[in-house]
Homo-oligomer: A and B are copies of this chain.
Amino acid sequence: MIDGLLERVRRQKPLIHHITNQVTINDCANITLCTGGLPVMTHALGEVEEMVASSDALVINIGTPTPDQIDAMVAAGKKANELKIPVVLDPVGLGATALRTDVISRIVDSVEVAVIKGNAGEISILAGYGGSVKGVESVGRYENIEQPSCDAARKYGCTVVVTGAADIITDGKRLLRICNGDAMMGRVVGTGCMSASVLACFAAVEGDRALSSAAAMACFGIAGELAAKREDVKGPGTFKPALMDEMYNLSEDVVKRYARIEEVALI
């Protein structure tokens, strides 16, 4: 199903423009490089439109939102839309503060996004189901996150990716479940942000965004599994560099062997 997509990323080396938070900006740049893309990170209002114009995908992450940066997100997003460059949105901490609700409203009102990636709390809130986010963590249990995901996908005309023990991906027509990954990924700050970078690398090279997202989440999850198994990994500190290594070393063969993608009945 996702055969050849990783190779396509590596052959095309898509330039991924990020407008992202200060916390994980370095990790996002490095995982982009390890996936096979080229990262560029700038939120200067004076150049984001020009920068996105030479990019192959745009990641918008609201982790540490400041007024100037939000303006840059909207400007870059509109330019990306104009040029048919896919936009991946990471609504970090949506629900934690009113500001984040406003920022996301402003973005989705003016920018057409290709992929929205969030945790269960963020996506549930985005879909209008309510939810609870403490800081940037999803709180509580979401037994049926499939329904809000499909609703959000249809509402925004995009692909929705919900990260969790299993990842849910839906474009409103199909629903995929990716069962790759390791619990250690939740012990490192920024694996959520990094997954948006990986999603953007694949969205840049494949127009079917449910498919590109499945490939991205499977590859990233497999890299996490391989890293967690390494003998030199002794905790979250050594896990992070190992995750980068494994993403860089990932081959189509390994992806084919370990990808666990299930098609789930439509809702």
- A residues whose Cβ falls under 8 Å from a Cβ of B: 15, 17, 21-27, 29-30, 33-34, 38-44, 46-47, 50-51, 54-55, 63-68, 93, 96-100, 134-137, 187-190, 230, 232, 234-238, 240-246, 248-249
Contacts and interface: CB of A to CB of B under 8 A. Distances in A.
A44 B248 CA distance: 35
Nearest to A18: B23
Give this chain's copy count: 3
A70 B201 CA distance: 31
Contacts of A47: 65, 96-100
Contacts of A33: 187-189, 236
Contact of A50 (B30, B64, B97, B234): B97
B135 A38 contact: yes
B187 A96 contact: no
A264 B30 CA distance: 35
A64 B38 contact: no
A22 B20 CA distance: 10
A27 B55 CA distance: 25
B134 A38 contact: yes
A202 B33 CA distance: 29
Given A17-B135, A237-B242, A241-B237, A22 B41 contact: yes
A261 to B, nearest CB: 25
A179 B239 CA distance: 29
B41 A237 contact: no
13 contacts: A26-B27, A30-B237, A33-B236, A38-B137, A43-B66, A50-B98, A51-B97, A54-B135, A230-B234, A235-B249, A237-B243, A237-B248, A241-B241
B237 A245 contact: yes
A189 B29 contact: yes
Which one of A21, A237, A246 has the highest number of Cβ atoms from chain B below 10 Å of its Cβ? Answer: A237
A55 to B, nearest CB: 7
